[in-house]
A and B are shown apart, each in its own frame.
Chain A
Amino acid sequence: MPIKSMYVTYSDSIYQFIYFLVGDDELAKDLTQETFLKAINSNPQFRGESSEKTWLSKIARNLVYDHFRRKRLLKFIPFLHEHEQIDYTYSPEQWLEAKNEQYELYEALGKLPHHYREAIVLRKIEQFSIKESAQILGWNEAKVKNATERGMKKMNELLGGERDA
């Protein structure tokens, strides 16, 4: 697919995915652009093993990780094992504050450990299959299932336990 149509089709979805991961509007916009710029360079290497959306999401996720690496949030600690324990400022924008329930959901998402958040965003919000989520996250399917279940449980706790009733 030419880059223009790819951007028109997927830009919103990629932006939303990144926004869920970083919680910052401007950063999400920048990383969205970077995702598509990176896709230009690696487009011929897209081997059709997954959908374009999955492929773009994986690039986006890698960029998010690279961003945090650059920010040295993860300095001196092994990235893939410890990043999950790190939390960062995650505050929904003003546009949501009026909508109380939605705001609470965003806030709860922001309080989740990073790997739970990723799993929930992909599986429950973006509606990726387990297989696709595993491809994007570079995990096995069991880990995706596990993280989603535990994330949902944690989110229920954060929301006071009554929402899943």
Chain B
Amino acid sequence: MLDSKLRSLERKTLDEETKNSQLLKLNKRNKDYMKKQKFTYSVTLVLFGLLLFVFSQTITESPKSIQSQQLTNFELGEVTKAYYLYSKRADRMYNLTSPFYTDKIFTTDPAVLNEFELLFKNSEWLPFNGDLTKYTTSINYLFQLENGESVYLKEINEDGFFVNPNTMMQTKLAQQSHEQFVFYWMHIYMGKNEFPPWKIGLLTILLLIFVYAAIKSNKRGTIEKNSSLINLSGLGLAFFCIHKMNEWLGVNHLLTLLLIFTFFMSATVYLHILIKKQEPNWKYHIQRIFMANIVLFVLFI
């Protein structure tokens, strides 16, 4: 009985005047919101374009001019730092001027550096008459010496045949020495790319913060303001992930990934518009790009 009385309880409705004035205000606010969304999207696109431009400029930086030195005898000398440059563009970037350039690993371990010195110590160096531009995909090494100079070596054909582009001198390591040389770098590479428990712990904590934020926002029905702590953590994590991906996979791969993300996000946004007939929230989609970065990063480890 009470059920039916409540169901048929008389209710007041909004009068026409109120409805009209509220509709007017809503329409105005809706237009303002659309304008703001378009502005945000345009600014983001411009910034994204600018970032890509800066990126592309740093990776196509012109090579350091090679000044041939009239040296007939070459000694590696005392090495203080050795780099392994595994990028295809390393031969153009061997001067390492770009802070964005990360397709490299290095070691300052005295024991390893000493081994490198010994491996090259008694090698025979001969003039190289070939065309180095043919070997764009070769592996490159850079040795910083105690006297402040740098020695850049390009390994062509991956069989222990090294050329110094500065002096245009060549040498060939014996097979055993070459295997030893590769073995050391393999160890350095593995050591550099290991994933220690503290990193796993940090990632877990950051991901938990995200999960907490997601649950919290779900409870309120709509995704609303996240706390600045969560936003900052998210931003920090995203940059960390991009940096690590850049370091591990190389700029080429990173740009490919960004392209894939952009394609994926564009497709999602267009589907969103087509199916839901709604203007998408660009800020939300940009956040999703960052989240996709994070998910991909976690998958890669």
Contacts and interface: CB of A to CB of B under 8 A. Distances in A.
A and B co-occur in one complex: yes
B194 interface: no
A45 B284 contact: yes
B278 A159 contact: no
A18 to B, nearest CB: 11
Interface string B1-42: 111011101111110001100110111011001000000000
Interface stretch (B95-103, B151-159, B165-173, B216-224): B216-224
B284 A16 contact: no
A102 interface: yes
Contacts of A25: 12
Interface in B186-234: 219-224
A78 interface: no
Nearest to B276: A48
B224 to A, nearest CB: 7
Interface residues of A, number: 51
Contacts of A95: 12
A93 B278 contact: no
A118 to B, nearest CB: 14
B280 interface: yes
Interface of A: 1-4, 7, 11-12, 15-16, 19, 25, 29, 32-33, 36-38, 40-46, 48, 55, 58-59, 62, 93, 95-96, 99, 101-102, 105-106, 120, 124-125, 127, 135-136, 138, 152, 155-156, 159, 163-165
Closest A-B pairs by Cβ, 5 of them: A44-B281, A58-B221, A42-B222, A124-B6, A12-B13
27 contacts: A4-B23, A4-B27, A7-B26, A11-B19, A11-B22, A12-B13, A12-B14, A15-B13, A19-B12, A29-B14, A33-B26, A36-B22, A36-B26, A40-B26, A40-B33, A46-B278, A55-B221, A55-B222, A95-B12, A96-B10, A102-B9, A106-B9, A125-B6, A135-B221, A138-B219, A156-B2, A164-B2
